[in-house]
Chain A
């Protein structure tokens, strides 16, 4: 049977930073090119365009991915977060603030990708994921401390040609510490909250 003629473009709706964008794309269009060339969202950078440098890192369904190897048409239905969507309004994300405070960049070109990647690294570590430098990967060993060596390994998909790695590692570590403190406080609050609720229930 002869194949049915196949269109080489499609109308797609992309969910980016909580907003829906509908556009017609040539199937060859990567998510990176759709963001930059079609939707004027130039925060995501094009470095190598072959999945090796990490400059185009975005989050897909809250997991980091390189937008240069992601076809736009195949990204329909996924929750896409770019560097433009990392902050909460005017409130910078802890990773962004740490990069600013510690000079986690020089020229800044790789920075959006570094920041998106770091946001995900902190989540992955909090979820207990081991890395290639984790000594014991068995679940019983527990999550490894997020040492500089762990951060370097986990961030190795993001290249920085200026070589700002020393400050990048410090920035990721600082943001991760802030995140861990926030999680601990949230945990306490939940525990206290439930106790408070019980007390209130007893009083009533």
Chain B
């Protein structure tokens, strides 16, 4: 690991000033991803600005009935919060499906959104990787890619975003709040991650030096009937090979409102707008659910070894929406 300086920020403006003064500095939250990547030499910051103790650790109801989640709230506290469990149960399920109890106690909401891909070639500094070293090539396209992207990828990178939390947040129209030395800003989570294109090393639309201060969830009555399902290669403590956050509201036998987002299929949590559109106002049955999944997955461009994900995601859409329809009918 490269040597680095360390400072603990006392407040948000202090944290921003420290980062602004040193282009080689990085914010440190829980460190569960950054410290790991520093050990392997993927990340080589000259200075860490520790933001874990900033007063951004509250979860508060907003005036309109949504939630504001501070950036340093830990995954554990987010998952355990009664309002999250009651009003956005898929978010609690998504967070609990990720990592281990130890890591969820350390990891923060802000850091979760900024965690890096778990593509094995990204983590291996001896291999070409356009995300790690722009222009060096992609080892995964011709190599081991059974758990890589089927949607929104490019000829330059097929890595996936590993977050579970982010998938549920994306389904529920979360907005990322940030601060810069020039003032505050907001980004819808659906605009937060940049398209891969030929710049896979540029991952988010955050301005340079910005600090995520929180995530705002708008009120979403549909989210009360929601579910997160994650498929992985072992029963627990593994990254997804495919996941889904879904919410469904049924009235008079038709879909009144529906939310769908996919995980582990793209460089970002994938909001399934096409599927939602196909479902809204339509019948509540397996055939309609499958047709909606097909509408979304028509854009899929699977690689030789990850075509199974198209079938997997289609089946997940049908299974989880069917369960939610049954719940809604009770």
A binding-site residues for B, Cβ under 8 Å: 1, 3-4, 6-8, 10, 26-28, 30, 49-51, 54, 57, 60, 63-66, 69-71, 73-74, 77, 117, 120-121, 124, 127-132, 134, 137-140, 152-158
Q: Residue B312 at the A interface, CB < 8 A?
A: no
On whether the beta carbons of A8 and B101 are closer than 8 Å, the reply is no
Residues from chain A with Cβ under 8 Å of B80 in the complex: 127-130
- Which residues of chain B from 227 to 267 have any CB-CB distance to chain A below 8 Å in the complex? 235-237
Residues from chain B with Cβ under 8 Å of A6 in the complex: 4-7, 22, 46-47
Residues from chain B with Cβ under 8 Å of A1 in the complex: 21
On whether the beta carbons of A139 and B236 are closer than 8 Å, the reply is no
CA distance A74 to B5 in the complex (A): 12
A150 to chain B, nearest CB (A): 11
Interface magnitude class on chain B: 35 or more
Contact of A138 with B101 at beta-carbon distance under 8 Å, contacts A51-B36, A152-B236 already known: no
B228 to chain A, nearest CB (A): 9
- Which residues of chain B from 15 to 38 have any CB-CB distance to chain A below 8 Å in the complex? 21-25, 28, 31-32, 35-36, 38
Residues from chain B with Cβ under 8 Å of A57 in the complex: 102
Residues from chain A with Cβ under 8 Å of B198 in the complex: none
On whether the beta carbons of B24 and A51 are closer than 8 Å, the reply is no
From B7, B31, B237, name the one whose CB has the most chain A CB atoms within 10 angstroms: B237
On whether the beta carbons of B85 and A138 are closer than 8 Å, the reply is yes
On whether the beta carbons of A65 and B105 are closer than 8 Å, the reply is yes
Q: Smallest CB-CB separation from B230: which chain A residue?
A: A132
Which of B52, B76, B86 is the one whose CB lies under 8 Å from A63?
A: B76
Residues from chain B with Cβ under 8 Å of A158 in the complex: 100
Q: Smallest CB-CB separation from B31: which chain A residue?
A: A69
On whether the beta carbons of B79 and A129 are closer than 8 Å, the reply is yes
On whether the beta carbons of B105 and A131 are closer than 8 Å, the reply is no
Q: Residue B173 at the A interface, CB < 8 A?
A: no
On whether the beta carbons of A8 and B3 are closer than 8 Å, the reply is yes
Q: Smallest CB-CB separation from B164: which chain A residue?
A: A132
On whether the beta carbons of A50 and B6 are closer than 8 Å, the reply is no
Q: Residue B89 at the A interface, CB < 8 A?
A: yes
A156 to chain B, nearest CB (A): 4
Residues from chain A with Cβ under 8 Å of B50 in the complex: 74
Contact of A157 with B99 at beta-carbon distance under 8 Å, contacts A8-B5, A27-B3, A64-B105 already known: yes
On whether the beta carbons of B105 and A140 are closer than 8 Å, the reply is no
Residues from chain A with Cβ under 8 Å of B105 in the complex: 60, 63-65
On whether the beta carbons of B32 and A51 are closer than 8 Å, the reply is yes
CA distance A151 to B242 in the complex (A): 25
Of the candidate stretches B54-62, B90-98, B271-279, the one touching chain A is B90-98
Contact of A153 with B236 at beta-carbon distance under 8 Å, contacts A71-B31, A132-B96 already known: yes
Residues from chain A with Cβ under 8 Å of B53 in the complex: 77
Q: Residue B181 at the A interface, CB < 8 A?
A: no
On whether the beta carbons of A157 and B102 are closer than 8 Å, the reply is yes
Residues from chain B with Cβ under 8 Å of A10 in the complex: 6
